[in-house]
Amino acid sequence: NLNMEASGTDEVDKLKTKFMSAWNNMKYSWVLKTKTYFSRNSPVLLLGKCYHFKYEDENKMLPARSGCTIEDHVIAGNVEEFRKDFISRIWLTYREEFPQIEASALTTDCGWGCTLRTGQMLLAQGLILHFLGRGERELRTPAVSLKETIGKYSDDHAVQNEIYHRKIISWFGDSPVAVFGLHRLIEFGKKSGKKAGDWYGPAVVAHILRKAVEEARHPDLQGITIYVAQDCTVYNSDVIDKQTDSVTSGDGRDKAVIILVPVRLGGERTNTDYLEFVKGVLSLEYCVGIIGGKPKQSYYFAGFQDDSLIYMDPHYCQSFVDVSIKDFPLETFHCPSPKKMSFRKMDPSCTIGFYCRNVQDFERASEEITK
């Protein structure tokens, strides 16, 4: 078909998009299949929770079942616990074929939206803490449908959790109506001079998230606010003002706050002296992760083992999922495998996130963080 003049650029854009998606997936699909090795001797930290993969008692080996290697007898459930914990985090990646972004021909964020995605993951973790807590009880398995949950657990708590889990994911849907969806975030990015297709840095994303939470009209979101540190400084009185702004919370209760601190850990490259600091941060129960990555590749850092950071990678282009459908499939919102990368490769620019449920929590957290 040579009659391409009129829709020429659109067609070319569509082709470019298709090519980009295919290229990204070729590049990243092996990532999901490659195994990540964890050492048995060092603790693993994931968002303030510590896991030990050591054998509890070397002598008390379980009797070898036929065809079963010693490797399968992992310690007292900790590996499994870690796996479950990791898989139940919300994973947000590039998507394609979603409703067109206003003022652009784009229907995908493949190749440019990774920092917005890692920002979404950090916010999602904050919301999970806010609505579900950091308990063991978050999700039995992410892939169950609501019907199964209701069938399996007569326990109201599990059903409540499942409903909130779905609700949180739906707030990040790729459509103009989703409160924290890509379309909205791009809208707020315009104020910082960013448009769809641009590269977003971790500091800009912090301000976009703050705006998105401030503007969210959803009744469930009135009890939470975001504070972004200026020049690496958190002014306690400003945070507390935000938390006790009773005009907005209406019921006289403190608001929860997500504190975002854009930092630069070194000059051209990350200064390894900051390794202990980053580990300290990821060990705090208040931590909701770090929007960071390698140069020009954003990752969501959620933990560490030794000198490697554990992260979730948004660079995997998945198809649009319509989250407005009652029982939309959850599988693609959960990452099957944790990835590790050496701290030395980390880009120095990042944004660190903390969640505090109320003023008292904030005061405790500031003490911990100051230490």
Express each pLDDT in 260-284 by its tens digit: 999 999 999 999 999 999 999 999 9
356 is catalytic: no
Number of structural domains, the chain?
1
Spell out a b/e string for 96-114, using b for 16 or more CB atoms within 10 Å of the CB, else e: bebeebeeeebbbbbbbbb
Candidate list 109, 110, 114, 254, residue with the active-site label? 114
Confidence tier at 72 by pLDDT (50, 70, 90): very low
Q: Which CA distances in Å does 43 have to 35, 39, 285?
A: 19, 8, 16
Residue 62 lies in a domain: no
Confidence tier at 169 by pLDDT (50, 70, 90): very high
Residue 152 lies in a domain: no
The more confident residue out of 139 and 327 is: 327
**Domain encompassing residue 365:** 1-57+70-135+157-370
Residue 141 lies in a domain: no
Confidence tier at 17 by pLDDT (50, 70, 90): confident
Confidence tier at 137 by pLDDT (50, 70, 90): very low
109 is catalytic: no
Q: Has residue 295 got a pLDDT over 50?
A: yes
Give the residue-averaged pLDDT of 330-338.
Answer: 94
Q: What is the per-residue pLDDT for 4?
A: 42
Query: What percent of the chain shows pLDDT beyond 70?
Result: 81
Residue 273 lies in a domain: yes
Confidence tier at 328 by pLDDT (50, 70, 90): very high
pLDDT tens per residue, range 179-229: 999 999 999 999 889 999 999 999 999 999 999 999 999 999 999 999 999
pTM for the whole structure: 0.85
Residue 370 CB burial class (10 angstroms; 0-12, 13-18, ≥19): exposed
Question: How far apart (Å, rounded) are the C-alpha atoms in residues 226 and 212?
Answer: 9
The more confident residue out of 156 and 320 is: 320
Q: Has residue 71 got a pLDDT over 90?
A: no
Residue 64 lies in a domain: no
Q: What is the per-residue pLDDT for 53?
A: 83
Candidate list 313, 335, 347, 356, residue with the active-site label? 313
Residue 183 lies in a domain: yes
Q: Has residue 20 got a pLDDT over 50?
A: yes
Candidate list 165, 183, 207, 315, residue with the active-site label? 315
Residue 348 lies in a domain: yes
231 is catalytic: no
